[in-house]
Amino acid sequence: MIIVLKPNSGQDVVDHVVERIKELGFTPHLSQGVARTIIGVIGDEEKLRAEPLQAIEGVESVVPIMKAYKLASRDFRAADTVVEVKGVRVGGGHLAMIAGPCAIEGEPVFNEIADAARDAGANILRGGAFKPRTSPYSFQGMGEDGLKILKATGDRLGMPVVTEVMDPRQTDLVVRYSDMIQIGARNMQNFDLLKEVGRTRTPVLLKRGLAATVKDVLMSAEYVLSQGNTQLILCERGVRSFEDSTRNMLDLSSVPNVKGLSHLPIIVDPSHATGRPDLIPSMARAAVAAGADGVHVEIHTCPEKALSDGPQALLPAAYQRLMDEIRALAEVMGKTIDACEGVHA
């Protein structure tokens, strides 16, 4: 349920309600707006009665949240959440332009690709060090050596970095090297992993599962939020379908759909959604037009030598053209693209 306090309630009222909720054995989650404070109480609503809380001085109303996801819902937070990834804002009118190779394959090639991403105007650098490959015989990523290259390159360019974590036991390690942690499609319902990243205070990029409904995605988001990590960005990356001319089926309607249901930012990954460089630019533009809070694109300087996802990688020149188009679109949409430290606008 959510407890709405009267406008301009003092800190003493907030403290009193928080104390009462804790006494009852529940965890309060605060959402402090300019004039109003809302307190979310998560737990078994059968055991929590509204009337006694309603009686507290300063409480305006006590409203049950009927949706299964609560902290992720617009009912809990009306304003868009803005996530900050090392100074780069995402959501609430700010676009994340995430680019980089599928996997970190070595220092020279990663540096070259990262330079291209930065030169085109990307504001977050990606690269996988732990790769969730369909085959155990495919390249599995460079592990910690890859994380070291990722961090050093991000530092050199002044760009925040994002990389995937696949195992709860890797979380501490990945957090040491990365400014945002990605939960991949295959792990969207790895609930122990969601709880573990929820316990950190590092921003999380949560990708939609291969066969996950919008509600499933929001329930997974709830796992992260319920552990206290509010820095969460969702990512639409297509779902499995009968169509086999594209890698997955991009569900662009999920963008405005999620925006109606949740305050969380949502970006689109047209690379994994289509698997085809010829379709990525148009789907990236469509994503921004649909209201997405950013675009995640895999790029490579030599796709034919890439150790994973080479066939879907955009060449730097194509990414540069796409970024020019997205900058123009962003202006029409009234959105801004924060420059990261390393890029002087």
Taking CB atoms within 8 Å and a gap of at least 24, the contacts of 340-344 are 340/86, 340/87, 340/88, 340/123, 340/124, 340/157, 340/158, 340/159, 340/160, 341/86, 341/87, 341/158, 341/159, 342/118, 342/157, 342/158, 342/159, 343/118, 343/121, 343/123, 343/158, 343/159
- Grouping H, G, I as helix, E, B as strand and the rest as coil, residue 15 is helix
Check binding of 162 to Mn ion (CB under 5 A). no
Amino acid present at 218? L
The CB-of-343 to ligand PEP minimum distance in angstroms stands at 23
Indicate whether 42 belongs to the interface with Mn ion (CB under 5 A): no
Instruction: Note whether 158 binds ligand PEP by CB under 6 A.
Output: no
Provide the minimum distance between the beta carbon of 309 and Mn ion in the complex, in angstroms, as a whole number: 4
- Of 23, 132, 115, 99, nearest to 269 by C-alpha is 99
With respect to ligand PEP, which residue has the nearer C-beta, 40 or 184? Answer: 184
Using rule CB under 6 A, residue 184 touches ligand PEP: yes
Q: Say whether residue 102 binds Mn ion (CB under 5 A).
A: yes
By CB under 6 A, residue 237 contacts ligand PEP: yes
Please identify which residue in 53, 62, 102, 109 interacts with ligand PEP, judged by CB under 6 A.
102
Give the interface segment with Mn ion, choosing from 34-42, 85-93, 180-188, 309-317 (CB under 5 A). Answer: 309-317
Helix axes 107-120, 144-157, angle to 10 degrees: 40
In angstroms, give the least distance from the CB of 292 to ligand PEP: 15
Cβ 99 vs Cβ 297: under 8 Å: yes
Residue whose CB is nearest to ligand PEP in the complex, by number: 184
Nearer to ligand PEP, 102 or 116 (CB): 102
Binding residue for ligand PEP (CB under 6 A) from 20, 70, 118, 207? 207
Quote the DSSP letter at residue 25. T
Task: Determine, following the binding rule CB under 6 A, whether residue 77 of this chain makes contact with ligand PEP.
Answer: no
Q: What is the DSSP-derived secondary structure letter of residue 313?
A: P
Cβ 154 to Mn ion shortest distance, Å: 18
